[in-house]
Amino acid sequence: MAMRDINAVKPNCAKIDWQIAALEKEKAENDQRLLAGIQSVAPALAVINIVAGTYGRNVAIATGEWAAAIDRKLAELRRTKKKC
């Protein structure tokens, strides 16, 4: 899931439980990607990841920006769920 995909999630009462579950799964998988993200930011691997199109995502994971975006979106969805 790309950062733009996380940000694009709009709360929808009809499928909010699914949205929350999907983001929670993504967050759990983020921990596994953290090491790969840190490794891919290393200069030797950066060029390969830029070509593969994963460098930006890996930097976001390595810096914690990815997890913070998921946390913000989960909080928004949970607030909305209370109103549904």
Model pTM score: 0.67
Confidence of residue 76 (pLDDT cuts 50, 70, 90): very high
pLDDT in tens, 26-50: 888 776 666 555 554 445 554 454 4
Q: Is the pLDDT of residue 23 over 50?
A: yes
74 assigned to some structural domain: yes
Q: In whole angstroms, give the CA distance from residue 16 to residue 64.
A: 25
Return the half-sphere exposure (C-beta side, CA atoms, 13 A cut-off) of residue 8: 5
38 assigned to some structural domain: yes
CB burial string 65-74: b at 16+ within 10 A, e below: ebbebbeebb
27 assigned to some structural domain: yes
84 assigned to some structural domain: no
How confident is the prediction for the chain on average, in pLDDT?
76
User: What residues make up the domain containing 74?
Assistant: 3-79
